[in-house]
Amino acid sequence: MKHLLKLLDLTPDEIKGILDLADELKAELKAGRAEPRLKGKTLGMIFQKSSTRTRVSFEAGMYQLGGMALFLSANDLQIGRGEPVEDTARVLSRYLDGIMIRTYAQEEVENLAKYGSIPVINGLTDMFHPCQVLADLMTMREYHGKNLTGKKLCFIGDGNNMANSLIVGGLKMGMKVSCACPENYRPHPTVLEFAKAYGEKFSLTSKPEEAAVNADVMVTDVWASMGQEKEKAEREIAFRGYQVNDAIMALANTGCIVQHCLPAHKGEEITYEVFEAHANEIFDEAENRLHAQKAVLVKLLG
């Protein structure tokens, strides 16, 4: 594994390897015996979009591993004034040991990896959010046991970066995945093509109450993602009814956990009641960003 651009690129064993190492690093940290496995290493973090969790967990993670992280706002980089990504990649490769990037087009992340000579980590694009889904899978294993085979993951809402990554990650872990998305907001065609090979293990519907039946993990995400602010009003209409609420949770299995990558818009994609009833799981998920990403960093930069 040279980069983390999308989960489609990883084998199930590579994903499990990251999750196992993440469990180990979490235990080490809690026991106060964390090792500086990335001593002297520097990670550059390019942000074209806002972030709380991704920025702070990568920065704290690098520090805990004995290295350092540089926050690079795209507005302040020459990239914001039009310097091509292929030149930026070659320059940054001369200074840094790795790059994390949060941006719009998946292609930009792929190009950074193509032209640079250091590991690149996707910290969210319009298409994928692999770091988040590694943290989600880690959390699912904590609640449901290490073997997720046969467990059912249900995603309700926009067929966005989270939906795309969850479908790939869930199926690769042997889970059944059901998605409920409005007709015009379905997951990416590349992901649907990937899911085809899994036959009945994957299902896509426009009816949340169909997708939710017997779920072991219930996931949702905002109706309008970063960059879609102008579509907010029309999306509020399109997504009415695509809400994780008590009625939806009643269809799921006993012990079903709820995951939300955050930030959440309570009252829209999830009710306040369901969010608070499952807050432990959701904030464990947020915490696990730190541990899962440290595992990715050790694998790629170590």
Give the catalytic positions in this structure.
102, 129, 132, 221, 261, 289
Amino acid at site 32: G
Among 162, 179, 296, 298, binds ligand NVA (CB under 6 A): 162
Residues facing 4 on adjacent strands: 121
Residues 204-243, mask of contacts with ligand NVA (x by CB under 6 A): -----------------xx--xx-----------------
The nearer residue to ligand NVA, 43 or 166, going by C-beta atoms, is: 166
Q: Does 293 bind ligand NVA (CB under 6 A)?
A: no
Which residue of this chain has its Cβ atom nearest to ligand NVA in the complex? 225
The nearer residue to ligand CP, 204 or 292, going by C-beta atoms, is: 292
Contact 47, 69 (CB under 8 A): no
110-118, 147-155, 157-165, 293-301 -> range binding ligand NVA (CB under 6 A): 157-165
Give the nearest distance from C-beta 261 to ligand NVA in angstroms: 5
Give the nearest distance from C-beta 37 to ligand NVA in angstroms: 27
52 touches which of ligand CP, ligand NVA, none (CB within 5 to 8 A by kind)?
A: ligand CP
Cα separations in angstroms, 128 against 93, 143, 177, 257: 23, 24, 17, 22
Please state, in angstroms and rounded to a whole number, the distance separating the CA atoms of residues 176 and 155: 11
Amino acid at site 100: M
Pairing of strands 98-102, 217-220: unpaired
DSSP state of 66: T
The nearer residue to ligand CP, 53 or 172, going by C-beta atoms, is: 53
Residues 252-291, mask of contacts with ligand NVA (x by CB under 6 A): ---------x------------------------------
The nearer residue to ligand CP, 204 or 224, going by C-beta atoms, is: 224
And the tokens for 50?
Answer: 């806002």
Give the nearest distance from C-beta 298 to ligand NVA in angstroms: 23
Sheet holding 98-102, edge to edge: 68-73, 42-47, 98-102, 120-122
The nearer residue to ligand NVA, 96 or 135, going by C-beta atoms, is: 135
The nearer residue to ligand CP, 52 or 149, going by C-beta atoms, is: 52
Pairing of strands 176-180, 120-122: unpaired
* Residue 251 neighbours by CB under 8 Å, 6+ apart: 209, 212, 213, 214, 215
Amino acid at site 238: A
Interface residues toward ligand CP, by CB under 6 A: 51-54, 124, 132, 261-262
106 touches which of ligand CP, ligand NVA, none (CB within 5 to 8 A by kind)?
A: none
Residues facing 43 on adjacent strands: 69, 98
Only one residue has tokens 């995951």, namely: 259
Q: How many residues bind ligand NVA (CB under 6 A)?
A: 9
244-253 per-residue burial string, b: 16 or more CB within 10 A, e: under 16 = bbeebbebbe
Give the nearest distance from C-beta 132 to ligand CP in angstroms: 5
Element (H, E) at 171: helix 161-172
Rule CB under 6 A: which residues touch ligand NVA? 124, 160-162, 221-222, 225-226, 261
